């Protein structure tokens, strides 16, 4: 079958420095990997591939611990490692959270041994990638004492890919990689995608769009003309799903499905999808049983209900809990769960308040098998949003956080915009739930069934992500789900080092570009005071959500002749009142409200003075200019790497930066002009045309 070529991303395994190579070779040339689960096959294959690249020599893989060598690597479950690893506490290893692993350097009857053990097969896969990462980033491995466990139980990528049609909603890197027409034939690319995901600890993939009603495009092939995501629940497609699952299973990753709430009608021929109808309950139960017969390690369902035209329990006057629970019950007796999205809005003037209104009062009513999946902010993946109030409001419910890997509002597949610092800010945010310090990362980490979902970014492009530098968002997502305490800098450096090699100058520059990119993105897209959603929509245009159009959705920024911003205080739309104390107080008062969110919470006069005496309008002009200027600077920094980064990737990213720099100016000029026209207040520095 014809396959496109594609990049290795951070799994390049470039040869390590001459000086370091002998030490690594001594420890890793001989390896014993125990037999058994499919994951161990993946471990062996990755060791061969990784060590050959990094050390220039394939390792010798033994069927048993080798006695004739000074030093070796041993990988297997605690019991299998017991004879070698007296210094490893077997119980400690068995008690690690699923996915966790230990890597320790031990002495064994005069031999040196690097032992990697874990409580599950997927832990051995993660541990193998961890060890390879240490080598790829030039870290010492002579005296290892590594104990790793994932902070979040579930770490899932949600693809918004439309099956059969192979388009990707909000995807900017070409067609979907999932080829449902050809499944159960599997593509090499699935294996490589699974490797990328497993290397950063991701353990779940939803391969189809939450909008399950989108039919295939009209096509010359009638057989696929009317196929849509909801049909993946049909038996013939479940067999295709199992083929996909069998690839991902090797890497410890489970496959899920987005399902349509009206499936009992559309697929089952019932007259209703009312969750309280016994026939509907039975239909879901039978369907879930059927899935597990075909895909024994199926992960569960993702559901977008009563949102943007999707069917849901409101169609039958039932609550979201009643709606979700019929699905949760269907998973009883199976190891799977339902991820029920809280992204609902419609009948209200201020969409920000709606998810809380729909969900907070049904806290505690959800089945144990249901996780409520909440977007990080109340609007929709804007460059910066306040935290969703639901994270502090549902202590009795399993919660998941939904982040966006793809850059729907941050420059799509073109602009270099790292989301990692944004995600750090989100996860570190203190919700004050329960009246105590409770950051979002604490809320997510401590109850069963919780976790983080990221809306997918990859497509069929050679770069996977539309811009090589945006691979760092997929990488960073996995690393943060695994360990939210890692800093943005650590993650970005690690990525740059593995992706662009050991030249310190390159690593430093690429890391700095990415770390500075998010603030620039906020500044030129929003003016940096909490405004948002000022983009062009227009479903027909490729530029959808890419170009500036502040006149299109005036209710989101609230600009009038007198002032700008939206009153979301307790006496306004009430969004601020949905937080726990002392956050309500903090946001309610413009004097204490953090400047970066000021206009999200307040409608203020254009010449309202900020703490340093600058007016709101002047700060907007300044930030918009600063953002665009930073992009020019990021571009220059990248151009300086010519000759130090391979020509192919340098040229590719340069072309993206050329467009990025133009587009940042376009946003700057459009917003500055619009704000000037509304306010009539000229830029003190004379940069905004007054004609």
Least CB distance to ligand GCU at residue 210 (A): 5
Identified binder of ligand GCU from the candidate list 170, 187, 227, 287, rule CB under 6 A = 170
**SS3 state at 370:** strand
438 binds ligand GCU (CB under 6 A): no
Q: What are the distances in angstroms from CA 344 to CA 162, 214, 263, 355, 375? A: 21, 19, 20, 6, 10
* Alpha-carbon dihedral sign for residues 137, 141, 147, 149: positive
**Binding mask 396-415 vs ligand GCU (x if CB under 6 A, - otherwise)?**
------------x-------
Q: Which residue has the tokens 């419910």?
A: 397
Helix 647-679 to helix 616-639 angle (10° resolution) is 170
- Facing residues of 168 across strands? 161
Binds ligand GCU (CB under 6 A): choice among 167, 211, 431, 578: 211
Total binding residues for ligand GCU by CB under 6 A? 9
Contact call for residue 380 and ligand GCU (CB under 6 A) = yes
Nearer to ligand GCU (CB atom), residue 169 or residue 633:
169
Taking the complex as a whole, the smallest distance from the CB of residue 381 to ligand GCU amounts, in Å, to 7
Residues 6+ apart with CB under 8 A from 176: 159, 161, 162, 163, 166, 167, 168, 459, 460
Q: Shortest distance, CB of residue 537 to ligand GCU, whole angstroms?
A: 9
**Binding of ligand GCU at residue 210 (CB under 6 A)?**
yes
Going by their DSSP bridges, the two strands 563-564 and 370-375 should be labelled as unpaired
Residue 535 beta carbon to ligand GCU: minimum distance, rounded to whole angstroms: 10
For residue 380, indicate whether it is catalytic: yes
- The label of the residue with tokens 């492009």 reads 461
When the beta carbons of 210 and 474 are compared against ligand GCU, the nearer one is 210
Residue 508 burial (CB count, 10 A): 13
Closer to ligand GCU by Cβ: residue 248 or 477: 477
Question: Between residues 52 and 380, which has the closer beta carbon with respect to ligand GCU?
Answer: 380
Candidate residues 32, 108, 230, 343; the one interacting with ligand GCU per rule CB under 6 A:
343
432 or 533: CB nearest ligand GCU: 533
302 bridge partner residues: 258, 339
Contacting residues for 32 by C-beta, under 8 A, at least 6 apart: 61, 62, 63, 64, 65, 66, 72, 73, 74, 75, 76
- Dist. CA 383–CA 519, nearest whole Å: 9
Answer yes or no whether residue 634 interacts with ligand GCU by CB under 6 A: no
Q: x/- binding map, residues 250-289, to ligand GCU, per CB under 6 A? A: ----------------------------------------
State which residue, 308 or 607, has the beta carbon closest to ligand GCU: 308
Q: Is 543 in the site for ligand GCU (CB under 6 A)?
A: no
Give the DSSP per-residue string, 314-345: GGGT--HHHHHHHHHHHTTTSS-EEEEE----
Question: Which lies closer to ligand GCU via its Cβ, residue 306 or residue 669?
Answer: 306
Using the minimum distance from each CB to ligand GCU, give the nearer residue, 380 or 543.
380
Q: Is 336 left (phi over 0), alpha (psi -120 to 50) or beta?
A: beta
Q: Quick one: tokens of 51?
A: 């060590």
Please report how close the Cβ of residue 275 comes to ligand GCU at its closest, in angstroms: 21
CA angle (22 as vertex; 18, 28 as ends), nearest 5: 125
Is there a contact between 492 and 499 (Cβ–Cβ < 8 Å)?
no
Closest CA to 608 of 549, 547, 563, 578: 563
* CA 47 from centre of chain: 27
304 binds ligand GCU (CB under 6 A): yes
What CA–CA distances, in Å, run from 506 to 189, 474, 646? 28, 20, 11
Cα-flanking dihedrals φ and ψ of residue 453, to 5°? -120, 145
Min CB(522)–ligand GCU separation in Å: 19
- Taking the complex as a whole, how short is the minimal distance between the CB of residue 356 and ligand GCU, in angstroms? 17
Alpha carbons 221 and 216: distance in angstroms, whole number: 10
Shortest spacing between CB 308 and ligand GCU, in angstroms: 6
- Closer residue to ligand GCU, CB minimum distance, 341 or 432: 341
Among 92, 169, 277, 430, binds ligand GCU (CB under 6 A): 169
Angle between helices 121-136 and 488-500 (to 10 degrees): 70
Please pick, among 308, 437, 485, 562, the residue that the annotation labels catalytic: 308
Least distance to ligand GCU, CB of residue 32, Å: 47
Tell whether omega for the bond before 582 is within 30 degrees of 0, i.e. cis.
yes
- The answer to whether the Cα torsion of 290, 294, 300, 303 is positive or negative is negative
Write down the catalytic residue from 80, 148, 161, 408: 408
Question: How many Cα atoms sit within 13 Å of 539 on the Cβ side?
Answer: 1
Nearer to ligand GCU by C-beta: 260 or 630?
260
Q: How far is CA 441 from the centre of its chain?
A: 14
- Catalytic residue, candidates 380, 425, 489, 552: 380
Token pair 């007796």: residue? 333
CB of 156 to ligand GCU, least distance (A): 15
271 catalytic? Reply is no
Q: In this complex, which beta carbon is closest to ligand GCU, that of residue 424 or of residue 545?
A: 545
CB of 170 to ligand GCU, least distance (A): 5
Q: How far is the CB of 408 from ligand GCU (least distance, A)?
A: 6
Q: Give 401's strand partners.
A: 374, 452
- List for the chain the helix, strand, coil content (%; round to 5): 40, 15, 45
Which residue number, 133 or 304, has a Cβ lying nearer to ligand GCU?
Answer: 304
**Contact status: 656 vs ligand GCU (CB under 6 A):** no
Residues in touch with ligand GCU (CB under 6 A): 169-170, 210-211, 304, 308, 343, 380, 408
- So which residues are the catalytic ones? 308, 380, 408
């Amino acid at each position: 079958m014809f396959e496109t070529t594609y990049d290795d991303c951070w799994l390049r395994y470039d040869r390590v420095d001459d000086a370091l190579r002998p030490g690594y070779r001594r420890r890793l040339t001989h390896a014993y990997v125990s037999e058994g689960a499919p994951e161990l096959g993946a471990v062996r294959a990755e060791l061969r591939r990784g060590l050959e690249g990094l050390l220039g020599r394939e390792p010798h893989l033994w069927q048993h611990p080798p006695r004739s060598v000074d030093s070796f690597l041993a990988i297997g479950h605690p019991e299998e490692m017991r004879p070698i690893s007296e210094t490893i506490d077997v119980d400690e290893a068995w008690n690690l959270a699923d996915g966790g692993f230990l890597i320790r350097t031990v002495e064994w009857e005069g031999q040196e041994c690097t032992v990697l053990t874990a409580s599950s097969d997927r832990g051995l896969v993660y541990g193998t990638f961890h060890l390879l990462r240490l080598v790829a980033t030039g870290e010492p491995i002579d005296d290892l004492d590594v104990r790793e466990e994932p902070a979040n139980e579930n770490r899932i990528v949600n693809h918004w890919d439309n099956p059969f049609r192979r388009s990707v909603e909000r995807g900017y890197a070409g067609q979907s990689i999932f080829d449902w027409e050809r499944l159960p034939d599997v593509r090499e690319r699935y294996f490589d995608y699974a490797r990328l995901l497993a290397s950063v600890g991701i353990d779940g993939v939803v391969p189809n769009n939450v909008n399950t009603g989108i039919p295939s495009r009209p096509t010359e092939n009638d057989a696929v003309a009317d196929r849509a995501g909801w049909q993946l629940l049909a038996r013939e497609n479940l067999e295709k799903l199992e083929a996909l699952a069998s690839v991902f299973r090797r890497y410890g990753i489970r496959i899920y499905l987005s399902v349509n709430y009206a499936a009992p009608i559309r697929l089952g021929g019932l007259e209703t999808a009312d969750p309280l109808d016994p026939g509907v309950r039975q239909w879901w139960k039978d369907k879930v049983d059927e899935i597990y017969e075909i895909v024994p390690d199926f992960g569960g369902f993702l559901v977008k209900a009563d949102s943007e035209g999707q069917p849901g329990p409101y169609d039958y006057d039932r609550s979201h809990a009643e709606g979700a629970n019929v699905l949760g019950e269907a998973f009883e007796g199976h190891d799977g769960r339902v991820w029920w999205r809280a992204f609902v809005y419609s009948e209200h003037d201020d969409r920000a308040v709606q998810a809380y209104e729909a969900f907070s009062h049904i806290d505690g009513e959800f089945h144990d098998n249901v996780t409520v999946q909440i977007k990080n902010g109340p609007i929709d993946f804007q460059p910066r949003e306040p935290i969703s109030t639901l994270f502090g409001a549902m202590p009795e419910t399993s919660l998941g956080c939904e982040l966006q890997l793809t850059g729907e509002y941050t420059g799509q597949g073109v602009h270099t915009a790292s989301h990692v610092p944004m995600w750090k800010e989100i996860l570190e945010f203190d919700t004050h739930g329960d009246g105590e310090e409770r950051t979002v990362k604490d809320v997510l980490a401590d109850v069963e069934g919780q976790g983080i979902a990221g809306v997918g970014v990859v497509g069929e492009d050679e770069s996977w992500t539309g811009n090589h530098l945006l691979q760092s968002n997929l990488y960073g997502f996995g690393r943060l789900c695994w360990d939210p305490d890692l800093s943005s800098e650590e993650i970005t450096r690690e990525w740059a080092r593995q992706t662009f090699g050991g030249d310190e100058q390159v690593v430093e520059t690429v890391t700095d570009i990415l770390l500075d990119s998010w603030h620039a993105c906020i500044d030129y897209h929003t003016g940096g005071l909490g405004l948002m959603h000022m983009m062009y929509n227009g479903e027909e245009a490729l530029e959808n959500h890419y170009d500036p159009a502040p006149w299109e959705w005036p209710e989101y920024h609230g600009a009038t002749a007198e002032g700008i911003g939206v009153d979301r205080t307790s006496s306004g739309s009430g969004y601020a009142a949905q937080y726990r104390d002392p956050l309500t107080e903090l946001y309610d008062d413009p004097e204490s409200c953090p400047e970066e969110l000021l206009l999200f919470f307040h409608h203020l006069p254009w010449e309202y003075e900020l703490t340093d005496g600058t007016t709101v309008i002047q700060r907007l002009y300044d930030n918009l200019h600063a953002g665009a200027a930073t992009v020019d600077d990021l571009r220059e920094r990248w151009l300086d790497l010519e000759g130090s980064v391979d020509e192919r990737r340098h040229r590719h990213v340069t072309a993206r930066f050329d467009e990025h720099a133009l587009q940042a100016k376009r946003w700057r000029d459009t917003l500055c002009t619009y704000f000037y026209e509304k306010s009539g207040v000229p830029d003190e520095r004379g940069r905004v045309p007054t004609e």
